[in-house]
C-alpha cells in the first residue's frame, strides 16, 4: 500500500535546482547579448508639476535604442496613454486615482516613473537616464496621516480633503451600547509604514515573436493571468497573442500582486517595437521608492464593557494612508476593519475609516494585509480592559471568545471579498490553553520575580488572531497522465517560495496512487492553465490544493473506467498503487497507468513500449466511434474549486521579552506560536511559513519603518538604513504547537497558513513591552530610543 | 559619449577559465551572471548588505556586487554552481539545506551556501552561537533563519562524515 503523503514532512522537490544555482528567476531569463536592458527615470520630488522633459542628449548616445516619455505612449499603443487600471473598484472609493505608466504632467511621489530608456546593457541605460533633463515646478508634499487629514495641501487637486474613500460597517447602535456599558475606555493607536521587501525585486522580460505574432512575457508577479490580461488590453493585443510565465520568484509577500506595474507594460511594448528581447530588473533603491508599502494607519477606539471584560460596544475609527494612488482599491482597510474582531464577538461593533492620499509610495497588501493593524488594535484594547479591571489578560480574552459550538459564526459584516464575514470552524479556548502552556503563562510571575531579584526587567504578552484565508473566486487545475506514467500537473496561481511543487505533488500522489517523484507541478504559466487568480491572501493551498485534488479525482475516475474495461473487472475492485492499477486480491491482473494513458488516446501508431503493451488490451465498442460522444482522448482531469466564502484560520502568539533598564534594548527571551490552519499537508512547510512570518513580524514590531521626511524623501531606502533583521535579531528558536480544526468548506479541510506568522507581532510585542515597563505602548514599531524617551516622558 | 574601453580579463570560475572583454566598471556579479551565464549568483541589494551575491574568491567569501570583474582577474572564483560534488550530487552544505528546509524562495540561498562553505572550512565544529554568527551577515526574508542555523549545524556533521 502506498503511504499517504498528506501530513508528512516531505522534502521539497524544488530545492534540487535552487541549491545547485539552477533556479530560473526573471533576471536569469534571456541572458545574452541579444537582450536589451531598460532603466527608468524616476521622480526625485514627492509632488511636482512636470514643465518640460528634454531627452535630446540621450537620443544619439551609442547603445541606446529607445527613450520614451508620456508623450510617446499614445503612438505606441493608444490605451497606454490612459491611467493604469484601478484593479478593485469599490462604491465607497469615490475618489480612486491611478498613475500613468509614465507620468503625465504631474508626479505624486518620489520614485514615480517619468521616462523609460532601453539600451544595450543596464549600465548604458542608466547613463542615458542621467542625461534626461526634467524641469519641475515644485508643489507642497503631503506626508503622513496627520498632514493628509489637515488637508492644508492636496495630493490631487480634484480630491477634496485628500479623502479617497470613507467606509462604515456596523452591527447596531454602538454609541448607545457604549453609553450604557458599566465601564468605558478610549485608546489612540498608531502603526507606521513598512514594506514586503522580498530579496528579489520586481522584474519583467519580454520577447516578441514576429513569426507567430505572439508576445512571451516573464514577470516576477503573484498573478500571471492578471498580468497577461493587462498587457493584452494595454498593448492592443488579443489575449491569445500573449503568454505570461512566472518563473521562480525570489519572494513576494504581497507587493507582486499589484499589477500591471509600469514596467510590466513598457517592457513588452519595447520588445514589440524594437524586435529584440527586453529586460527590466528593479534595483533595491527602486524597490523602496517605486514598489508598494503598507501598514501605516492611525486608530481611535471607544469601547464599553462589563465587569468581566465582556465587549458590549466596540467603536473603531481609523485613518489609512494609501499613498499617492489606489490601484488595489480598499482591500487593506476593509480587512483591518473586519478582521480586527479576531476570535471575539462584541455585542455591537462599528468600524469606520477614511482612506487618505499622501505624496508617498502607493499602498497595496503586504503579508497580513491590514490584519496586523486590526489585531494590534483589538489586542491592545483587550490588554487595556484587563488593566482597567485588574484581571488576567487571558481571562478577559476567554470571556469574549466565540465558542466551538457557535460555528459557523456570522460576524454580521461584509468581508473583503464581498461575502459575509462568517467563520467556518475553530476552537479558540483550546488554542488559548495551548498558548498558555507553551509560553508558561502561569509560571511567569515567579520568573518575573526571579529576574527582578537579579535586577532584570521582563514582560510577557499574548495576542490572538483570526485570518480569513483562501478567498475566491476560484482556482483551477489540470492533471495529465502521460504514456510514460508520469503525471504533469498545472495550476495557474504563482509560486514565490511556498513549496507548491512539493505540496501539490503530495496531494496528487495520494489521490492518484502514483509515486511522488512521478508528479511534476507547474504554476503560473498561462500556456498551461489560462484561468487563475493569483497567490495572495493565504489562498494557494486552499484554492489550488482543492482544485488539484478535484482534478486528480477526475483523472482517477477515467483511469478506473478504462482500466476496468481493459482488465474486465469492476471499477470498485480496482486499486492504484505506485502507478499500477490492479484488481484487489489478484495481483496478476494489472495495468500500468501509462498503458491506460495509451488506451485513452486511440492513435494508430505505436511510438514506444507503452503503446505496444497497450495492444494486448481491448477497450471501446467496435460498433461506435473510437472516441465516444461523451468522452475525449487522453488521460486528463481538469477541475476548478470555487468556495462560497473564505475559510478562517486562527492562532495565538506569546512572547517574553527583556528590556534593559539602562539602554532600553529589547531582547526576545521566548517566542511561542499556536496555530490552527486546519488539515496540514506538509508540517515542515507550514512551520517554515510560521518561522518566516515571525521574523517578518519581529522586523515590523521592532526594526522596520519607512522613514519619510516632511518633503516626502524616503530617508532609509537601502538595506544599510532600513533595518531588515539578520539572524541576530530574530528569536533563537520558535516554539510551535498546532491545532487542526478542519475547514468544512473544502474537500481536504485545509486553511491557509502563509500570512499567519506576521499578524499578531505588533500586538504581542506591544503587550510584552508594556508588561515589562508598566508604560502604555500605543505606537508601533518601537525602537530602544523610543522606549527610552517613553520612559523619560512617564518618569 | 564614446564607446567604453574594454579590458581583457581571464576569470577562473569553478575551475574553468573564461576570457572576457569587459568595461572597467562591470561588476563581478554582472560578469558572472550576464557574460558567463552563471545565474546562480543572485543580486539582492547592489550595495553589499544582503549577501545574496556572495562568491568565494580564492576561498574567501566576497560580495560580487562590490567587486569589479577586472579586479577578479587571476583569482580562483567559486560560485554556487561549483559547490556540487564532482558526481553531480549535492555538496554537504547544499544537502544540509535540503534536509533542514533551509530555504523557501531560494533567492538568498546561494550566498548562504558559499558563506557557510567558507565558514565551515575555517571552523569545522561551530557551536550553536558560532553557527548563528557564521550567517549573521546574510539576509533572508522567507525562513526567519531558524532552519538555516540548523542547516549550518547539519552541514558540519555532513562535512565531518565525508572527510
Does the beta-carbon distance from B106 to A730 stay under 8 Å? no
What pTM was computed for the model?
Answer: 0.96
* Inside any domain, residue B123: yes
Torsion angle defined by CA atoms of residues A601, A602, A607 and A608, in that order, rounded to the nearest 10 degrees? 70
A246 and A534 Cβ atoms separated by less than 8 Å: no
Residues of chain A found within 8 Å of residue B150, distances taken between Cβ atoms: none
Chain B residues whose beta carbon lies within 8 Å of the beta carbon of residue A727? 132, 135-136, 145, 148-149
Domain membership of residue B146 (yes or no) is: yes
For B83, which residue in chain A has the nearest alpha carbon? A20
Alpha-carbon gap, residue A673 to A184, rounded angstroms? 31
**Per-residue pLDDT, A299:** 98
A62-115 pLDDT tens trace: 999 999 999 999 999 999 999 999 999 999 999 999 999 999 999 999 999 999
Cell numbers of A285, please?
533603491
Per residue in A108-134, pLDDT (tens digit) is 999 999 999 999 999 999 999 999 999
How far apart are the C-alpha atoms of A319 and A441, rounded to whole Å? 34
Of B83, B114, B137, the position where a domain reaches its end is B83
- Where in chain A is CATH 3.30.365.10? 373-471+645-793, 473-641
Contact A251 B34 (CB under 8 A): no
3-class DSSP assignment, residue A169: strand
- Res B2 pLDDT > 70: no
Q: What is the number of other CB atoms lying within 10 angstroms of the CB of residue A98?
A: 16
Q: Which CATH class is domain A17-139+202-249+256-290?
A: alpha beta
| Residue B19 shares a structural domain with residue B77 | yes
pLDDT band at A602 (very low <50, low <70, confident <90, very high): confident
Say how far apart CA A6 and CA A503 lie, in whole Å. Answer: 8
pLDDT at A628: 85
Non-local (6+) Cβ contacts of A182 within 8 A are A304, A305, A306, A307
CB atoms within 10 A of CB B102: 30
What residues of B are in contact with residue A732 (Cβ under 8 Å)? 128, 132, 149
- Give the nearest partner residue to A250 out of B97, B107, B135, using CB atoms: B107
How far apart are alpha carbons A223 and A66 in whole angstroms?
28
Contact: A21, B41; criterion CB under 8 Å: yes
* Predicted confidence (pLDDT) at residue B1 exceeds the cutoff of 60: no
Residue A769 has pLDDT above 50, yes or no: yes
Q: A373-471+645-793, which class in CATH?
A: alpha beta
Q: In chain A, which residues have their Cβ closer than 8 Å to the Cβ of B154?
A: none
Residue A548 CA to residue A555 CA, distance in Å, equals 10
Contact (CB<8Å) B106/A283: no
* pLDDT in the model for residue A487: 98
Query: pLDDT digit string (tens) for A37-66?
Result: 999 999 999 999 999 999 999 988 899 999
- Please, which residues bridge with residue A311 across strands? A305
Class for domain A473-641, per CATH? alpha beta
Among A10, A67, A727, A728, pick the best mutation site for testing chain B contact (most B Cβ within 10 A).
A727
Percent of chain A with pLDDT over 70: 99
Q: Which chain A residues are Cβ-neighbours of B50 within 8 angstroms?
A: 199, 284, 719
Q: What does the pLDDT read at residue A621?
A: 78
| Each residue's pLDDT tens digit, A313-364 | 999 999 999 999 999 999 999 999 999 999 999 999 999 999 999 999 999 9
**Contact criterion met (CB < 8 Å) for B137 and A726:** yes
On whether both B101 and B79 belong to a single domain, the answer is no
Q: What is the predicted pLDDT for the residue at A616?
A: 66
Of B79, B105, B149, the CB nearest to A21: B79
Q: Do B122 and B69 reside in the same domain of the chain?
A: no
What is chain A's mean pLDDT, rounded?
96
B161 Cα to chain A: minimum distance (Å): 20
CATH assignment of the domain containing B148: 1.10.150.120
Contact A25 B143 (CB under 8 A): no
Q: Which of B106, B143, B146 sits opposite A248 (nearest CB)?
A: B106
Listed in sequence order, the residues at least 6 apart from A489 whose beta carbon sits closer than 8 Å to its beta carbon are: A477, A478, A479, A480, A504, A505, A508, A519, A520, A521, A522, A548, A551, A552
pLDDT value, residue A611: 73
**B68: closest CA of chain A, how far (Å):** 13
Q: Which three cell numbers stand for residue A24?
A: 530560473
Confidence of residue A586 (pLDDT cuts 50, 70, 90): confident
Task: Give the per-residue pLDDT at A203.
Answer: 98
Asked whether the beta carbons of residue A11 and residue B98 sit closer than 8 angstroms, the reply is yes
Same structural domain, B10 and B53: yes
Out of A1-5, A340-344, A582-586, B102-106, least confident range:
A1-5
- Predicted complex: ipTM over 0.95: yes
What residues of chain A lie within 8 A of the CB of B140, using their CB?
A: 199
Does residue B1 sit within a domain?
no
- Burial code (b: 16+ CB inside 10 Å, e: under 16) for A507-541 equals bbbbbbbbbbebbbbbbbbbebbbebbbbbbbbbb
pLDDT digits (tens, 9 = 90+) for A685-704: 999 999 999 999 999 999 99
To probe the interface with B, which of A19, A20, A757 has the most B CB atoms within 10 Å? Answer: A19
A484: which 3 cell numbers?
A: 510514460
User: Model confidence over A353-411: pLDDT tens digits?
Assistant: 999 999 999 999 999 999 999 999 999 999 999 999 999 999 999 999 999 999 999 99
Q: Coil, strand or helix: which one is B107?
A: coil
| Nearest Cβ partner for A724 among B46, B109, B139 | B139
Q: Residues A722-741: what's their mean pLDDT?
A: 96
Query: Is pLDDT at A238 greater than 80 in this prediction?
Result: yes
pLDDT tens for each residue of B61-94 = 999 999 999 999 999 999 999 999 999 999 999 9
Identify the domain boundary among B83, B102, B122: B83
Judging contacts by C-beta atoms under 8 Å, the chain A residues touching residue B141 are 197-199, 251, 253, 692, 696, 724
Task: Say yes or no for a CB contact (<8 Å) between B138 and A726.
Answer: yes
Q: Which of A27, A122, A497 sits opposite B104 (nearest CB)?
A: A497
Do the Cβ atoms of A11 and B101 come within 8 Å? yes
Longest dimension (CA), chain A: 95
* Confidence (pLDDT) at A26: 98
Is residue B65 domain-resident?
yes
C-alpha–C-alpha distance, residues A789 and A781, integer Å: 14
Looking at per-residue pLDDT, the higher value among A792 and A616 belongs to A792
Cα A494 to Cα A205, A404, A500, A544, B149, distances in angstroms: 17, 34, 9, 10, 28
Rounded to a whole number of angstroms, the distance from the CA of B54 to the nearest CA of chain A is 12
Residues B101-139 pLDDT 10s: 999 999 999 999 999 999 999 999 999 999 999 999 999
CB contact under 8 A, B105 and A499: no
Judgement on whether residues B70 and B15 belong to the same structural domain of the protein: yes
- Count of structural domains within chain B: 2
DSSP string, B19-54: EEEEETT-BHHHIIIIIS--TTS--SSSSSSS-TTE
Residues facing residue A198 across a β-bridge: none
Helices (H) and strands (E) in chain A, counts: 21, 29
Residues B53 and B103 in one domain: no
Q: Residue A133, exposed/middle/buried by CB under 10 A (0-12, 13-18, 19+)?
A: exposed
At residue B41 the predicted structure's pLDDT band, cuts being 50, 70 and 90, is very high
Count of all residues that appear for chain A in the document: 795
pLDDT, average across residues A238-246: 97
pLDDT band at A789; cut points 50, 70, 90? very high
- Regarding whether B78 and B15 lie in a shared domain, the answer is yes
Domain range for B44 is 6-83
Residues of A in contact with B26 (CB under 8 A): 123
Amino acid at each position: 500500500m502506498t503511504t499517504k503523503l498528506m501530513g508528512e514532512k516531505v522534502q521539497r522537490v524544488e530545492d534540487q535546482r535552487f541549491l545547485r544555482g539552477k533556479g530560473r528567476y526573471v533576471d536569469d531569463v534571456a541572458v545574452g547579448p541579444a537582450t536589451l536592458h531598460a532603466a527608468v527615470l524616476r521622480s526625485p520630488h514627492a509632488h511636482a508639476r512636470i514643465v518640460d522633459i528634454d531627452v535630446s542628449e540621450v537620443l544619439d548616445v551609442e547603445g541606446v535604442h529607445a527613450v520614451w516619455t508620456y508623450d510617446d505612449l499614445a503612438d505606441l499603443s493608444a490605451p497606454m496613454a490612459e491611467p493604469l487600471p484601478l484593479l478593485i473598484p469599490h462604491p465607497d472609493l469615490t475618489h480612486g486615482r491611478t498613475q500613468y505608466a509614465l507620468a503625465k504632467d504631474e508626479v505624486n511621489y518620489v520614485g514615480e516613473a517619468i521616462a523609460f530608456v532601453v539600451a544595450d546593457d543596464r549600465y548604458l541605460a542608466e547613463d542615458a537616464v542621467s542625461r534626461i533633463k526634467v524641469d519641475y515646478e515644485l508643489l507642497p508634499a503631503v506626508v503622513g496621516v496627520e498632514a493628509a487629514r489637515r488637508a492644508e495641501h492636496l495630493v490631487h487637486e480634484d480630491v477634496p480633503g485628500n479623502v479617497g474613500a470613507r467606509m462604515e460597517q456596523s452591527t447596531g447602535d454602538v454609541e448607545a451600547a457604549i453609553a450604557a456599558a458599566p465601564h468605558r475606555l478610549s485608546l489612540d493607536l498608531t502603526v507606521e509604514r513598512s514594506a514586503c521587501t522580498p530579496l528579489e525585486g520586481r522584474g519583467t522580460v519580454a520577447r516578441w515573436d514576429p513569426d507567430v505574432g505572439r508576445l512571451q512575457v516573464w514577470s516576477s508577479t503573484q498573478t500571471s493571468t492578471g498580468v497577461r490580461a493587462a498587457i493584452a488590453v494595454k498593448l492592443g493585443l488579443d489575449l491569445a497573442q500573449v503568454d505570461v510565465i512566472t518563473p521562480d520568484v525570489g519572494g513576494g509577500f504581497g507587493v507582486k500582486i499589484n499589477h500591471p506595474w509600469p514596467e510590466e507594460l513598457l517592457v513588452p511594448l519595447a520588445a514589440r517595437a524594437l524586435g529584440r528581447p527586453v529586460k527590466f530588473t528593479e534595483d533595491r533603491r527602486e524597490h523602496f521608492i517605486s514598489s508598494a508599502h503598507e501598514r501605516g494607519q492611525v486608530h481611535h477606539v471607544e469601547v464599553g464593557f462589563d465587569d468581566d471584560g465582556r465587549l458590549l460596544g466596540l467603536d473603531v475609527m481609523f485613518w489609512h494612508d494609501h499613498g499617492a494612488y489606489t490601484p488595489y482599491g480598499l482591500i487593506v482597510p476593509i480587512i483591518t476593519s473586519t478582521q480586527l474582531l479576531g476570535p471575539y464577538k462584541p455585542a455591537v461593533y462599528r468600524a469606520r475609516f477614511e482612506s487618505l492620499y499622501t505624496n508617498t509610495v502607493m499602498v497595496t497588501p503586504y503579508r497580513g494585509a491590514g490584519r496586523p493593524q486590526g489585531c494590534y488594535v483589538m489586542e491592545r484594547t483587550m490588554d487595556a480592559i484587563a488593566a482597567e479591571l485588574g484581571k488576567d489578560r487571558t481571562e478577559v480574552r476567554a470571556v469574549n471568545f466565540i465558542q466551538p459550538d457557535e460555528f459557523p459564526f456570522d460576524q454580521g459584516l461584509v468581508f473583503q471579498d464581498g461575502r459575509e464575514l462568517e467563520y467556518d470552524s475553530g476552537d479558540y479556548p483550546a488554542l488559548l490553553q495551548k498558548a498558555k502552556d507553551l509560553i508558561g503563562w502561569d509560571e511567569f510571575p515567579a520568573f518575573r520575580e526571579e529576574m527582578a531579584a537579579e535586577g532584570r526587567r521582563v514582560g510577557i504578552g499574548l495576542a490572538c488572531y483570526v485570518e480569513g484565508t483562501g478567498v475566491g473566486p476560484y482556482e483551477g487545475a489540470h492533471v495529465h497522465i502521460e504514456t510514460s506514467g508520469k503525471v504533469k500537473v498545472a495550476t495557474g496561481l504563482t509560486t514565490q517560495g511556498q513549496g507548491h511543487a512539493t505540496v501539490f505533488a503530495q496531494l496528487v500522489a495520494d489521490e492518484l496512487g502514483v509515486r511522488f517523484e512521478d508528479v511534476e507541478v507547474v504554476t503560473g504559466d498561462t500556456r498551461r492553465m489560462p484561468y487563475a487568480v493569483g497567490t495572495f491572501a493565504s489562498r494557494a493551498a486552499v484554492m489550488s490544493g482543492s482544485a488539484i485534488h478535484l482534478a486528480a479525482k477526475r483523472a482517477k475516475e477515467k483511469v478506473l473506467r478504462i482500466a476496468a474495461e481493459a482488465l474486465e473487472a469492476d471499477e470498485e475492485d480496482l486499486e492504484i498503487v505506485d502507478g499500477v492499477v490492479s484488481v484487489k486480491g489478484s495481483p496478476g491482473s494489472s495495468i500500468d497507468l501509462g498503458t491506460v494513458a495509451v488506451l485513452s488516446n486511440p492513435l494508430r501508431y505505436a511510438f514506444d513500449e507503452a503503446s505496444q503493451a497497450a495492444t494486448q488490451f481491448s477497450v471501446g465498442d467496435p460498433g461506435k466511434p473510437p472516441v465516444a460522444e461523451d468522452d475525449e482522448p487522453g488521460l486528463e482531469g481538469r477541475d476548478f474549486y470555487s468556495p462560497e466564502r473564505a475559510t478562517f484560520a486562527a492562532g495565538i502568539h506569546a512572547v517574553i521579552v527583556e528590556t534593559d533598564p539602562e539602554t532600553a534594548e529589547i531582547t526576545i527571551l521566548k517566542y511561542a506560536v499556536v496555530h490552527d490552519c486546519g488539515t496540514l499537508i506538509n508540517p515542515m512547510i507550514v512551520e517554515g511559513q510560521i518561522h518566516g512570518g515571525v521574523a517578518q513580524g519581529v522586523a515590523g514590531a521592532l526594526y522596520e519603518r519607512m522613514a519619510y521626511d516632511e518633503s516626502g524623501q524616503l530617508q532609509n531606502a537601502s538595506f544599510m538604513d532600513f533595518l531588515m533583521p539578520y539572524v541576530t535579531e530574530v528569536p533563537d528558536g520558535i516554539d510551535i504547537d498546532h491545532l487542526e480544526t478542519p475547514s468544512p468548506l473544502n474537500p481536504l479541510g485545509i486553511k491557509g497558513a502563509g500570512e499567519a506568522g506576521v499578524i499578531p507581532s505588533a500586538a504581542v510585542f506591544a503587550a510584552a513591552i508594556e508588561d515589562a515597563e508598566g508604560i502604555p505602548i500605543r505606537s508601533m514599531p518601537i525602537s530602544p530610543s523610543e522606549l527610552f524617551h517613553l520612559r523619560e516622558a512617564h518618569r | 559619449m564614446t564607446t567604453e574601453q574594454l579590458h581583457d580579463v581571464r576569470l577562473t570560475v569553478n575551475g574553468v577559465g573564461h576570457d572576457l572583454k569587459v568595461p572597467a566598471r562591470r561588476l563581478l556579479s554582472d560578469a558572472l551572471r550576464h557574460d558567463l551565464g552563471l545565474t546562480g549568483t543572485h543580486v539582492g541589494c547592489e550595495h553589499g548588505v544582503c549577501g545574496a551575491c556572495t562568491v568565494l574568491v580564492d576561498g574567501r567569501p566576497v560580495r560580487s556586487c562590490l567587486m569589479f570583474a577586472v579586479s577578479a582577474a587571476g583569482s580562483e572564483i567559486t560560485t554556487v554552481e561549483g559547490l556540487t560534488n564532482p558526481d553531480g550530487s549535492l555538496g554537504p552544505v547544499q544537502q544540509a539545506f535540503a534536509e533542514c528546509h533551509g530555504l523557501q524562495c531560494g533567492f538568498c540561498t546561494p550566498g548562504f551556501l558559499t558563506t557557510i562553505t567558507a565558514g565551515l572550512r575555517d571552523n569545522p565544529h561551530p557551536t550553536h552561537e558560532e553557527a548563528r554568527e557564521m550567517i549573521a551577515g546574510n539576509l533572508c526574508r522567507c525562513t526567519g533563519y531558524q532552519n538555516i542555523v540548523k542547516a549550518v549545524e547539519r552541514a558540519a556533521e555532513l562535512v565531518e562524515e565525508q572527510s
